[in-house]
Amino acid sequence: MNRKTRIRKAWHVTISLFMLFCAISSAVAKDAGGKRKTTSGKENKTMNAGNDIMAALSSWGYGYKVKVLVNGVDIGMSGGKSESKRLFHKESDMAATASPDMRKRNFILQNGTNRISVDFTKTSNEKNDYLQVSLEIQEYQAPLFLLHSRSKPSGKIEKEITIQNSAPDNFKPAVISDKGEGKAAMVHVSSMSATVTPVLNGVAGMTLGDMPGSVVLEGVKLGKNEIIIRYKGEPDGDLSFAVVTPEWTKFLTRKLQDASEKAETFTFNVSD
């Protein structure tokens, strides 16, 4: 198995495990909150929805040394591989059944402002290696935070983000590239039943085949830019994806009528 195939398989496993984790965690949370006795002996059938935040922080760090802090807590990422850490609200009901170490490292999110710090160093000479760190919240249509680095030998990024139980109407992912925040475009695919290839200004990005994921497009230029989304999948399937640019963000769903490839074109402008 060559390096490219190994990497794609590892990423597919990471994303699939995250989706499985979300489904299991939702069931556990519902069960924990659906029938719970209070100190008075009565059943409490409501769960504090504000504490029901669940997330995954993933790192694609082949060829990199990585350290990630969330609200000042080292969540245990080291780089050199594909990693994903489950994160929960610090007052989640599930914390009662977690180990002390897990409560310290995983139950650290809070409603409102949260701070992410990513410290990285490139350790390989492989030109195709890149770093991608993202935070995905279960109820959001795209990553709340995404860092993508390919050209920097090292760096440290600190970002404050606001977490709510569901994405606000004006939600826009924080996309940070080597040129800074809001300087690149991103396409995020939520579906597992379509093949999607984004093209920015005539340059194709990575193809996502029957799996969710995010593709960062760094070739943004001053003036008018064009993104083409090419996609195909099984008939009667659904495709959900987000297109994030420096100018705007769109969350889209398409019904796949047949197996032929389709293409949609979007434009955006960059003034500085």
- pLDDT tens, position by position, 220-254: 999 999 999 999 999 999 999 999 999 999 999 99
Domain spans in the chain, listed from the N-terminal domain onward: 48-181, 184-272
Q: Which residue has the tokens 């591989």?
A: 81
- Say what the pLDDT of residue 139 is: 87
What is d(CA 203, CA 78) in angstroms, rounded to the nearest whole number?
32
What pLDDT is stored for residue 50 in this prediction? 58
> Which pLDDT score, from 0 to 100, does residue 28 have?
40
Q: What is the mean pLDDT of the chain?
A: 86
CA–CA separation, 58 and 134 (whole Å): 5
Across residues 129-139, what is the average pLDDT?
Answer: 95
Is the pLDDT score of 191 beyond 60? yes
The 3 state secondary structure assigned to 160-207 is EEEECCCCCCCCCCEEEECCEECCCEEEEECCCCEEEEEEECCEECCC
Q: pLDDT at position 102, please? A: 94
Structure tokens of 26? 């939702």
- pLDDT, tens digit, for every residue of 3-19? 444 444 444 444 444 44
**Does the pLDDT of residue 40 top 60, yes or no?**
no
